[in-house]
Copies of this chain bind each other. A is one copy, B any other.
Amino acid sequence: MIERAIVLSSGDELTTGRTVDTNANFIADKLVAAGLDVVAIMVVGDYPDRIAWAWQQAMQHAEVVIGTGGLGPTADDLTTEVLAQVAGRRLYMDQAIADRIRQMFAAMGRVMPENNLKQAMFPEGATIIPNALGTAPGFRLDIETERGGRHLIVLPGVPREMKPMIEEQVLPWLQQARGGEDVYLSHTFQTFGISESALDELVAGSIPSAEGRIAFRAAFPQISVRLTVHGPPAIASQRLAELSARLRERIGAYAYGEGDTSMEEVVGTMLTQRRLTLALAESCTGGLIGNRITNVPGSSAYFIGDFVTYSNDAKTAVLGVHAATLERVGAVSEEVALEMAAGARGLAGSDLGLATTGIAGPDGGTKDKPVGTVCIALATAEKSYVRRYQFWGTRDWVKILTSQVALDWVRRHLLGLDPSESGVLRR
């Protein structure tokens, strides 16, 4: 029976406070969604005795232990060696992996430093978990202990390598290893513009606790709502669909997407479906909105360009904002936002023009326009919209929040809703 898991992170950067351990959080989230009980998260530095202690303790209290970190080529990468000792297994060199590492270096026209071969060493009996995005593969070691069978899984600490290994290899193995038991299924709604407690009230009573569980997760600026059900596959699947429909109705337009998606993906899909194009004029967000939009593959189909006009001169010279308007009401104003949006739309020849201008801080605030004052405008063929907001927080928060509200404007406009209703947090 595989019921309990412990997540183990290693690295001096974690125990010395240089890095926040987000790997353990990611893995714990996935394990809980898969129906496991995460007994503990343990973090130790790069010391053999501490790594050994953590694995020994973890093996006592959980059937599955997933460790990340310590698979690099350098002297302080100790995980494989220590775990082999703890499990009483010898190390061997996997020739196929060693060749692959050599080939990866050769393909880049480099000679492989000998210490990289360390990444081809595994405890005997290990099942290798391939790493498509880096030189260090992970592995799984299945051992028998006096407390029962244990599954020890080691993955690299680099998040972008570790995450697909969890999703594409560890979770499917786990599902299979747990056999014909009930399945856990979940569905997630991505929401924006509503606080966690207001969301809680909104969905209260919609899901009887015997039928499903709801978990909120705030990752500024959005909050996701995850519904999890469990039971025999067919029943769970039907129940998930029914309860999801109920939640969909409750959450309404606060949900900008479902599943693992982002506001920029949702907006991109809507623009593509409607064959519309977008241009931006950014001031306080400094390129962030363009960056988010172009993170989506295929965005060149609808994204023409972004005019980041940080100085007043650039606003005038590039976007045609009137010097008189800047003089009269200042760069952070509804008037300038409207002229920027219209200017971007005209210059790019796009269907929509979206503009931001504001004071991200920490300096530049005044009594009338304190830090966090932001104007957003949207120009379309038929109509233009503008609104002044008073946001809060640090420079990066103001930038992120502004970019989120601005993208939500496009989404709401395309849905036929009033864009300017976005960004007024329901608490």
Contacts and interface: CB of A to CB of B under 8 A. Distances in A.
Interface string A292-325: 1111011110011111111101100110000000
A73 B197 contact: yes
Interface in A330-378: 347-349, 360-364
A215 B293 contact: no
B215 A113 contact: no
A200 B43 CA distance: 24
Nearest to A112: B427
A131 interface: no
Interface in A22-70: 22, 24-32, 38-46, 50, 53-54, 57, 61
Contact of A305 (B12, B220, B307, B395): B307
Interface stretch (A170-178, A243-251, A282-290): A282-290
Nearest to A74: B200
A196 interface: yes
A385 B215 CA distance: 53
B29 A39 contact: no
A269 interface: no
Interface stretch (A13-21, A79-87, A88-96): A13-21
Given A294-B287, A399-B295, A20 B20 contact: yes
A50 B40 contact: yes
Contacts of A113: 197-198, 201, 427
A305 B297 contact: no
A323 to B, nearest CB: 15
A131 to B, nearest CB: 13
B297 A287 contact: no
A318 B303 contact: no
Chain multiplicity (copies): 2
A413 interface: no
Contact of A300 (B19, B310, B348, B425): B310
A110 to B, nearest CB: 4
Nearest to A12: B215
A13 B217 contact: yes
Which of A12, A18, A74, A427 has its CB near the most chain B CB atoms (within 10 A)? A18
A389 interface: no
Given A105-B427, A290-B287, A307-B318, A42 B41 contact: yes
A381 interface: no
A262 interface: no
A30 B17 contact: yes
A18 B24 contact: no
Given A18-B29, A18-B215, A40-B50, A197 B116 contact: yes
A108 interface: yes
A308 B295 contact: no
Given A113-B427, A304-B310, 6 more contacts: A19-B219, A108-B425, A285-B294, A291-B291, A305-B308, A306-B308
Q: Which 6 A-B pairs rank lowest in CB-CB distance, beginning with the nearest?
A: A17-B29, A286-B294, A287-B290, A287-B287, A306-B308, A17-B28
Interface of A: 12-22, 24-32, 38-46, 50, 53-54, 57, 61, 72-76, 105, 108, 110, 113, 115-116, 133, 158, 160, 196-198, 200-201, 215-220, 226, 280, 282, 284-295, 297-300, 303-311, 313-314, 317-318, 347-349, 360-364, 393-397, 399, 425, 427
